[in-house]
């Protein structure tokens, strides 16, 4: 596995940060310490999760066995939190996991396994420090903080398909930097299991970019599609229906006259494909089974800035900007609509027409 200290201490070749236009256009600042840190942290976590998936996920895995994703979730959060505490010790982290459930006799074996995997990238890891690092993510949002989803798309992870490590920095309630680690996407948009994977990154005002998760760094700027005909829109749809309303999504497609087959995958990897122009619309509708559901900030922060910096638009289902000032959830928003910008007005009109 790759050691975090070596990644964060290494030099980024400015030549690899290609300008969209030699005279104008956004360009990543290779000397941005937050950028260098976030890229290194997500790369390390994504490779660790990929390693755990290879070790623990097999065809013999029973449908109800979630132990691989449990181990990977906690291990990735511990590794990222440890790196954050070392690099920006004054920055809190808002994470999805806490170690309380692990510190029971029933979960002793799970904690042992988590600690063993974390020690592969953090040689000083033991059970006590691993729990401490996990709980670093129990902080509340502050003026400046980071938020992490160590594995977004748990069902995709267990199927050996798409998932993402999602990490973002927020300042004054606005996402300023986001990184997605997508081990099974190539060039930021092609679904390739076992390929080199992708890192997608955006810094506010500096565009959206992708580089391989493994292999030589080669940052390339990405842009959303120019598609404006609703009938040609490519929906990005989840395999899982837990947090959306599938029947309403079908109504929306019919209302818009959509003929194209949807692109199906789990997780914020959908934002990556939208940003790279290989999909056009993402809907997170309100499920009738969970009418009061509110999005968690770590499920949207990283992906939303990447989509926006690629030229896309992200709002809630009423067209309101996402409000990251309300703690751990988007309490002032209802669902999610992300688009290539050109189709946003038509999508909002359709949502109103079908009562979504």
Instruction: Tell me how far CA of residue 133 lies from CA of 67, 154, 166, in angstroms.
Output: 20, 21, 17
Task: Check 154, 211, 244, 350 and give the catalytic one.
Answer: 154
Annotation says 129 is catalytic: no
Alpha-carbon gap, residue 84 to 77, rounded angstroms: 10
Distance CA 107, CA 111 (A): 6
Q: Is 65 a catalytic residue?
A: no
What does 212-273 look like in DSSP terms, one character per residue? Answer: ESSSS---EEE-------GGG--EEE-S--TTS-HHHHHHHHHHHT--SPPEE--STHHHHH
Q: What are phi and psi of 23, to 5 degrees?
A: -105, -25
Q: Which residue of the set 70, 73, 187, 350 is catalytic? A: 73
Is residue 293 a contact partner of residue 205, using CB atoms and an 8 Å limit? Answer: no
| Distance (Å) of CA 178 to CA 39, 53, 64, 262 | 9, 24, 32, 26
- What amino acid positions are annotated as catalytic residues? 73, 154
């Amino acid at each position: 596995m790759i050691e975090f200290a070596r990644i964060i201490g290494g030099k980024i070749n400015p030549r690899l940060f290609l300008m969209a236009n030699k005279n104008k256009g956004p360009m990543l600042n290779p000397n941005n310490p937050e950028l260098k840190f976030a890229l290194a942290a997500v790369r390390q976590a994504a490779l660790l999760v990929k390693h755990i998936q290879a070790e623990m996920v097999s065809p013999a895995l029973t449908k109800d066995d979630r132990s691989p994703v449990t181990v990977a979730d906690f291990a990735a959060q511990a590794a990222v939190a440890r790196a954050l505490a070392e690099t920006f010790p004054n920055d809190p982290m808002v994470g999805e996991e806490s170690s309380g459930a692990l510190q029971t006799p029933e979960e002793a074996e799970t904690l042992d396994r988590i600690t063993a995997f974390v020690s592969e990238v953090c040689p000083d890891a033991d059970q006590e420090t691993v729990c401490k690092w996990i709980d670093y993510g129990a902080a509340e949002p502050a003026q400046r903080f980071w938020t992490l989803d160590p594995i977004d798309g748990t069902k995709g992870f267990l199927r050996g398909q798409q998932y993402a490590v999602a990490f973002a920095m927020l300042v004054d309630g606005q996402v300023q930097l986001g990184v997605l680690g997508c081990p099974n996407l190539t060039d930021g948009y092609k679904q390739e299991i076992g390929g080199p994977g992708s890192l997608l990154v955006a810094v506010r005002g500096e565009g959206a970019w992708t580089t391989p998760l493994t292999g030589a760094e080669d940052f390339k700027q990405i842009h959303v599609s120019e598609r404006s005909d609703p009938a040609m829109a490519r929906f990005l749809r989840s395999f899982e229906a837990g947090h959306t309303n599938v029947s309403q999504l079908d109504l929306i497609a019919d209302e818009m006259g959509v003929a194209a087959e949807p692109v199906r995958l789990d997780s914020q990897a959908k934002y990556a494909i939208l940003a790279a122009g290989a999909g056009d619309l993402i809907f997170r509708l309100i499920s009738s089974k969970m009418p009061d559901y509110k999005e968690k900030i770590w499920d949207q922060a990283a992906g939303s800035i990447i989509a926006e910096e690629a030229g896309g638009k992200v709002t809630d289902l009423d067209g309101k900007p996402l409000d990251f000032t309300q703690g751990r959830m988007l309490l002032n928003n209802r669902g999610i609509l992300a688009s290539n910008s050109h189709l946003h007005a038509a999508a909002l009109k359709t949502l109103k027409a079908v009562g979504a």
